[in-house]
Amino acid sequence: MRGLGRPRGPEFVTVPLGAREEPAGGPGFPPQNAPGTPQSPPRGRLLVAAALVAAVTGAAAGVAGARLYEGSEPASAALPRVAAAPSAGLSGLSATAARVLPSVVSVDIGGGGGSGFVVDDRGHILTNAHVVEGSDEVTVILNDGRRVPARVIGEDGDEDLAVLEVSSPGDLSPATLGRSADLSVGDQVLAIGSPLGLSGTVTAGIVSATDREVRLGGARRTAVQTDASINPGNSGGPLVNARGEVVGVNTAIAAGRGGGNIGIGFAIPIDRAAPIAERIIRN
């Protein structure tokens, strides 16, 4: 590998102490200064004087330093570090994610699954019907990694919604439901779930449309469109606004030929999903 050349700098000349300065023209040549013109101090003498001054100054500094550190260990060399910032509470989207994550679960049906979120303090979890299709018993993985059994208590295939029930709901944290009718295009939102099995994944985006007509379940329905990244495994997870309120149930994406996310995702509006969940729980 070729370098960028050899570094260059001024060449320093050391003159031995007591050396006799030759005339400017060299041995056997008369001085070039005209008679009566003050001659500048020879360069050799300047270097000698500078060397003597540096030696005296260095010696003095060495004595002072020795006295200062006499009887103590020399300080260890340390690179400068940025001072630790004072701890402060989370704000913005960090606070929103921290508020919602304890309510979000992964749904495992053995060989497949999706996401869901706790909707009340009785152990009910809302997800998509296609996530649990054909299963009565599922495993729910909580945000702290614990795996607990759950059963499917009801589905609405037309709306692609299902409700699960956990037998021990004591330590579950219900999500706060908002109003999808209050959404506006451009509002900031988060999608939370387990895309490709990566539990607790948070992605951010905006509301792209509030009433996009798409095929959900067995019919065409209106949905909230978002550019927050949604991928397989996000199904059933919450779409939340900047206040941490659930405004939709992430359900589908528009995919290109490669099958990945292209920034067009759809969520069932919570204003439509919540009454269906209440009906399933009630019956």
| Number of helices and strands in the chain (H, E) | 3, 13
Catalytic member of 130, 194, 199, 208: 130
User: Is residue 118 within 8 Å of residue 172, measured between CB atoms?
Assistant: yes
Query: Predicted confidence band at 76 (pLDDT cuts at 50, 70, 90)?
Result: low
* pLDDT over 90 percentage in the chain: 55
Q: Measured between alpha carbons, how far is 175 from 243 in angstroms, rounded to an integer?
A: 12
Helix (H) or strand (E) holding 61: helix 43-69
Instruction: Quote the pTM value.
Output: 0.69
pLDDT reading at 12 higher than 50: no
Among residues 156, 163, 161, 154, the alpha carbon closest in space to that of 123 is found at: 163
- Catalytic site includes residue 130: yes
What would the pLDDT profile of 141-153 be if each residue is shown by its tens digit? 999 999 999 999 9
Catalytic member of 160, 194, 227, 229: 160
CATH topology of domain 176-282: Thrombin, subunit H (2.40.10)
Domain ranges in the chain are 94-166, 176-282
The mean pLDDT value for 59-83 works out to 51
- Catalytic site includes residue 144: no
Question: What residues have CB less than 8 Å from 117, skipping those under 6 apart?
Answer: 100, 103, 104, 105, 125, 126, 127, 175, 192, 236, 237, 238, 246
As a whole number of Å, the CA-based R_g of the chain is 38
Among residues 249, 282, 252, 255, the alpha carbon closest in space to that of 268 is found at: 249
What would the pLDDT profile of 181-205 be if each residue is shown by its tens digit? 999 999 999 999 999 999 999 999 9
Q: Which residue has the tokens 């102490």?
A: 17
Q: Please tell me whether residue 259 adopts helix, strand or coil conformation.
A: coil
pLDDT reading at 241 higher than 80: yes
In 25-87 the beta strands, taken as DSSP E runs, fall at none
Q: Which two tokens stand for residue 157?
A: 């295939």
User: Is residue 115 within 8 Å of residue 106, measured between CB atoms?
Assistant: yes
pLDDT of residue 81: 57
176-177 and 245-255 strand pairing: parallel
- Greatest mean pLDDT among 19-33, 84-98, 247-261 lies in 247-261
Would the CATH topology of 94-166 be identical to that of 176-282?
yes
CATH class of 94-166: mainly beta
- Catalytic site includes residue 124: no
Computed over every residue of the chain, the mean pLDDT equals 78
Kindly give the residue spans of alpha helices, DSSP state H, lying in 70-212.
92-100
Amino acid letter, 275: P
pLDDT reading at 271 higher than 60: yes
Q: Which two tokens stand for residue 154?
A: 């009801």
- C-alpha 258, offset from chain centre: 26
Q: Which two tokens stand for residue 11?
A: 């060449």
